[in-house]
Structure 1
Amino acid sequence: MSTEPDARLGRTLAGRYHLQRVLGRGGMGTVYEAEHVGLSRQVAVKVLHTHIATAPGAVMRFQREARLMARLQHPGAAQVYDFGEEAGELFLVMERLQGETLDTVTFREGPLSIPLAVEVVAQVLEVLEASHALGIVHRDLKPGNVMLLGELSAPRVKVLDFGLAQLVDGSPQERITVSGMVHGTPGYMSPEQCRGEPLDGRADLYALGCVLHELLIGQPPFGEMPVAEVMSGHLYRPPAPLRQLRPHLSIPPALDTLVLECLAKMKEQRPDNAQVMRLRLRQSLSLPISLAQAPRGEGKKKERPLPAPQPSKTEVPSDAPVGVMEAGGLANPHGVGTALAAAGFRVVPCVEGVSVGDVRALIIVPEAGGDALPLARQLASRPHGPPVLLCGEDDLTVMTRAIEGGVYDYIPLPLDPVDLSRKVARALRARR
């Protein structure tokens, strides 16, 4: 809950909703606790941020959020009462919930017990069954959008914020979030969402697999890494089995298998739908352990964060030349070519506009403050060309555009030599 002063507090919005205090702020807007003056009922009012409300298409997205949420009548989804506009401000009125979001609970408690984690995710899947039946993909499932009501030993789940949802089967005229736009939270985004592709319900199953991973292990599959590394993990790296990460937890093999299937890079390899995943999830527990009797997780201090995995020795292909196109040559401050040579790679300096020859991978390094994205996309689009890797600042938008343009991998700066060597070795193996 925020305690910062807010100019809206004390106002009566649309003559009906008296704004009393701030409940939270998110990417789309600010949520207030308010009283419906005529009914003397406490509600939650979400007001769209002003800078977003003026963006092209934002008003239509917000209005569609209200209509979608109003259509979704399920006890596990926050109920929508009203929406409207006043003085250029768009607002959505929802039921006032008394509970804690899942990220708050796990921050305090650490990972949940296996039965409790399964129960929470199974209830979320019940909501997804209803939303997917209406053609609604949530697109931003994460612990912060799941609220737990009641006692933790027997929680009731509410799924929040369908603000990034879109109608899968809507007409082209109704689709506001178009292909090529990337929305969501990086730690929980499916590979197809990272690429800005059209989504279906299996993207939500991927996100929920990330959530279940975090509830059991203490962090999502690709940890608390820089955003570029997280998205690279979603796109390319296979997640480790849960039993390998926490062998002492005695995670049922069927549950471990299900989580890995949810995190499959290809959506066709994930469970067919939310109902299938829910049934398999409940069946994965071999014993009907009572939630009230099940032990809690071991706590945040003991379980979080996971120890950093030790990088295995990078196998350097001795006969595979690596092209490095560094703006400024040896004067480039990032030292990519120098780092690769020190790691044992055979480095071939390359120059823009000159044939890259027979290099097996090509790394493009911009000058400080420069933009090499157009060049990287151009070179990556050449048929039969080597995999192109682009170095750049730790910027989600740039990395996403690079991957959409066919760039094989993104190397965030400042440079991590171990990370650089690992990604270059992977690119070389991809061309064998």
Structure 2
Amino acid sequence: MSDEEEEDVNFKAGVEISSSKASYTVVRLLGEGGFGAVYLVKDAKDKKYAMKVERKLEKRKHSKLKMEIAILKLVGTGKHFTKIVDRGKKDKEGFFFLVMELVGKSLADLKQDRVEKAFSFATGLGVASQCLEAVEELHKFGFIHRDLKPQNYACGLDDKKHLIYILDFGIARKYLNTKNELKTPRETVGFKVRIPGRAD
């Protein structure tokens, strides 16, 4: 079995995942990534959330989900960041999970939904402004995202539908040290091939 197969976390609709304070029922899969998977879940009152799940592996040096949790706790009430609702781990089943407020479609999906496959000039300016504002806010906390693309930005829901959220901090890294100084770059960096989504 390959590493990627070992990292898969697959839950069918109706499966219940409980923390120390609440129980969540899986509604459907929202997406999959290198960290594991994201599910639409609901609590006992039928309120819906997004749940990220990551398989626990002894050989993994850095948990992407733990990095996500650390950053979301750090940024607190920042308006461009999703709020943590709950989190936990299942030692017997071997996975971690993070429950967050639910957001809407990604910028990549919203652009594809348009007939012309592009935003208007005015919309584009507004979107760009909010995306940059979100990145700037993350930088103020001493972190760089390292995976910026339309798929990692999404609009909110209901009264927050005009607010853009920045998502997925699994490979983010701290660039400031404890003295608020730039950290010394690594002399050697691992090479990773990625095929990013187009931003035009």
TM-score range, shorter chain: 0.7 to 0.9
Aligned equivalent of 1:65: 68
| Match of residue 125, structure 1, among 110, 132, 149 | 132
Q: Distance in 2 between matches of 1:168 and 1:187?
A: 23
Structure 2 residue 88 is matched with structure 1 residue 84: yes
Q: Distance in 2 between matches of 1:81 and 1:141?
A: 24
Q: Distance in 2 between matches of 1:116 and 1:42?
A: 28
Aligned equivalent of 1:31: 38
Structure 2 residue 127 is matched with structure 1 residue 111: no
Structure 2 residue 102 is matched with structure 1 residue 96: yes
Q: CA deviation at 1:31?
A: 0.7
Alpha-carbon spacing, 1:9–1:54, altered in 2? closer, same or farther (3 Å):
farther
Q: Distance in 2 between matches of 1:90 and 1:117?
A: 37
Q: Distance in 2 between matches of 1:32 and 1:58?
A: 22
Secondary structure, counterpart of 1:187 in structure 2: coil
**Dislocated runs of 4+, deviation >4 Å:** 182-185
Q: CA deviation at 1:137?
A: 1.0
Secondary structure, counterpart of 1:100 in structure 2: coil
Q: CA deviation at 1:47?
A: 0.6
Deviations 1:375-396 (A, max 9, x none): xxxxxxxxxxxxxxxxxxxxxx
Aligned equivalent of 1:158: 165
Mapped contact 1:140–1:185 kept (Cα < 8 A): no
Provide structure 2 residue ranges, at least 5 long, that are not aligned to the other structure: 1-9
Q: CA deviation at 1:81?
A: 2.2
Q: Distance in 2 between matches of 1:140 and 1:103?
A: 14
Q: Distance in 1 between matches of 2:105 and 2:46?
A: 24
Deviations 1:101-151 (A, max 9, x none): 111122232122222111101101111121101012111111111112469
Alpha-carbon spacing, 1:54–1:20, altered in 2? closer, same or farther (3 Å):
farther
Q: Distance in 2 between matches of 1:56 and 1:170?
A: 24
Q: Distance in 2 between matches of 1:40 and 1:28?
A: 27
Q: Distance in 2 between matches of 1:7 and 1:158?
A: 26
Secondary structure, counterpart of 1:105 in structure 2: helix
The higher relative CO (CA closer than 8 Å, separation ≥ 6) is in 2
After superposition, where does 1:156-195 map in structure 2 within 5 Å?
Answer: 156-170=163-177, 180-182=189-191, 185-187=194-196
Alpha-carbon spacing, 1:168–1:29, altered in 2? closer, same or farther (3 Å):
same
Provide structure 1 residue ranges, at least 5 long, that are not aligned to the other structure: 1-5, 189-209, 215-432
Question: Which residue type is aligned with residue 181 of structure 1?
Answer: G
Deviations 1:361-405 (A, max 9, x none): xxxxxxxxxxxxxxxxxxxxxxxxxxxxxxxxxxxxxxxxxxxxx
Alpha-carbon spacing, 1:19–1:170, altered in 2? closer, same or farther (3 Å):
farther
Q: Distance in 1 between matches of 2:24 and 2:157?
A: 27
Q: Distance in 2 between matches of 1:137 and 1:71?
A: 14
TM-score using structure 2 length: 0.74
Alpha-carbon spacing, 1:156–1:183, altered in 2? closer, same or farther (3 Å):
farther
Alpha-carbon spacing, 1:22–1:170, altered in 2? closer, same or farther (3 Å):
farther
Task: State the superposition RMSD in angstroms.
Answer: 2.8
Secondary structure, counterpart of 1:19 in structure 2: strand
Q: Distance in 2 between matches of 1:47 and 1:184?
A: 24
After superposition, where does 1:3-402 map in structure 2 within 5 Å?
Answer: 6-15=10-19, 16-37=23-44, 40-48=46-54, 50=55, 53-59=57-63, 61-72=64-75, 73-86=77-90, 87-97=93-103, 99-109=104-114, 110-149=117-156, 155-170=162-177, 180-182=189-191, 185-187=194-196, 211=199, 214=200
Q: Distance in 2 between matches of 1:17 and 1:185?
A: 34
| Structure whose alpha-carbon radius of gyration is higher | 1
Q: CA deviation at 1:64?
A: 2.3
Q: Distance in 2 between matches of 1:28 and 1:115?
A: 35
Secondary structure, counterpart of 2:196 in structure 1: helix
Mapped contact 1:164–1:184 kept (Cα < 8 A): no
User: Which one has the bigger strand percentage?
Assistant: 2
